[in-house]
Structure 1
Amino acid sequence: MASSEEDGTNGASEAGDEKEVTRKRRRLGFLATAWLTFYNIAMTAGWLVLAIAMVRFYVEKGTHRGLYKSIQKTLKFFQTFALLEVVHCLIGIVPTSVLVTGVQVSSRIFMVWLVTHSVKPIQNEESVVLFLVSWTVTEITRYSFYTFSLLDHLPHFIKWARYNFFIILYPVGVAGELLTIYAALPYVKKSGMFSVRLPNKYNVSFDYYYFLLITMASYIPLFPQLYFHMLRQRRKVLHGEVIVEKDD
């Protein structure tokens, strides 16, 4: 799910346990920590540039129409650059599941490249603005959180924002993504985009229209699980509650 947030990625502890952060930092080593710090600073700056560009466009134009086209290069670059987070997990400098991180990053890239970029008529939909604003605020908060954590100097406001902004931004982002995919359905069905029809020499078929429908349906079980997981993390970090996970 594209709007979901990773836990413990980029070398910073989500639990805010300073001793645990220090222990992990020593294990990472200087070069890994330096790289992760640079990466998170760069990503924070990139999403800040995107935010400024969005605000400037709206102030100058007074409309959201044309907004995506004006910021798409920056969005595509920094969102695709996030694939490095999968590499971080693979080489072990970030203690997070490769599978979880891969799904989260790839779902964002899917929304950018295979939905919004590919189905150009939907780029002026208001739903695109919904997920753009949600993603941008979320990523500025998330990457700045990781940056300050790696520097062992985490301001209270950044920590507070990390565990409060998502309460609104996560549902808004998910709504924007779903509405954008829904808006793309008629164009995909009419054009046959990315679909493979029979007969063909490989004797396989693929219908991108139904793939999008399945993708939308997958939000139903995934969203509540991820959202309530973040709420549990919030209680643990901000209020010191001990969360006991029940075995299924």
Structure 2
Amino acid sequence: MPPKKSPAKAKEPAAQEAKKEVRKQTALQKNYLIAYNLASCIGWFAVLVLVVQELQTAGYQSVYGKVSTLLNIVQTCALFEVSNLNSVWFILAKYDYPEVRQSYFVSSMVIAWSITEIVRYGYYALNLIYGKAPLFSTYIRYTFFFVLYPLGAGSEFMLIQYAIPFAQQTQAFYGFVFTFIAGMYAPGFWFMYQHMIKQRSKVFEKVFGKDKNE
């Protein structure tokens, strides 16, 4: 009579299969995230190109009309990232306020958004592909916000201010909501800006071995 297998040995094949399945799922998740981040990076780059082209050929008044479809697509993809949703996108997409959509603040805002997201998604993709983002990608990821965040947030604030009178005339509730959001921008901006500066210091100390604040 052949010797009976011990319970521990009998479980080994099942454990190995489970590990293989976990590795397979992990690889699929990684590939999905790489594809998502690369697609998002390309999408925002296309938005940036459209904005620049429209500014050169027609002017800032028609920028939103030119980029709105593609902008809605890339912003809708951000539904997978709840933290990345934006109230100004909602205002622009939902309400046809010419004074808002034709403002030059739309151009400055979308340019700031585009560069920020190109850098961010590019950083994530490179980090996933190589296991560690290149130093140049890390540097611009945690440096460009010094200019881009004030530019983007300031443009958003001005567009909300432009939208408030029109909202109050048509839908008083949204007028109140927009006013509340505008009132939160200054403290929210200061909090987030300080948070990003602290994050930069932590990352740079870890990556570069020092607090690189220059």
* Unaligned 5+ runs, structure 2: 1-22
The 2-side partners of 1:28 and 1:185 are apart by 48
User: Alignment identity in percent?
Assistant: 28
The 1-side partners of 2:92 and 2:51 are apart by 20
The 2-side partners of 1:27 and 1:221 are apart by 45
The 2-side partners of 1:150 and 1:168 are apart by 26
Q: Secondary structure at the match of 1:66?
A: helix
The 1-side partners of 2:154 and 2:24 are apart by 40
| 2:97 maps to amino acid | K
The 2-side partners of 1:224 and 1:40 are apart by 28
Q: Secondary structure at the match of 2:60?
A: coil
Q: Do residues 219 (structure 1) and 185 (structure 2) align?
A: yes
Given that 2:116 and 2:144 are in contact with CA atoms closer than 8 Å, whether structure 1 keeps it comes out as yes
Given that 2:44 and 2:118 are in contact with CA atoms closer than 8 Å, whether structure 1 keeps it comes out as yes
Structure 2 residue aligned with 1:113: 90
The residue correspondences of 1:130-145 to structure 2 (distance < 5 A) are 130-145=108-123
Give the alignment partner of residue 124 of structure 2, picking from 121, 128, 146.
Answer: 146
Q: Which has the larger radius of gyration?
A: 2
TM-score, scaled relative to structure 2: 0.80
Of structures 1 and 2, the one with the larger relative CO (CA 8 A, separation 6+) is 1
Count residues with an aligned counterpart: 185
What is the root-mean-square deviation in Å for CA atoms of aligned residues?
Answer: 2.1
Structure 1 residue aligned with 2:64: 68
Given that 2:51 and 2:63 are in contact with CA atoms closer than 8 Å, whether structure 1 keeps it comes out as yes
The 2-side partners of 1:28 and 1:154 are apart by 23
Structure 1 residue aligned with 2:17: none
Large movers: runs of 4+ above 6 Å? none
| 1:56 maps to amino acid | Q
* Unaligned 5+ runs, structure 1: 1-25, 86-101, 196-206, 244-248
1:21-45, CA deviations, whole angstroms, 9 ceiling, x for partnerless residues?
xxxxx79711111100000000001
TM-score, scaled relative to structure 1: 0.69
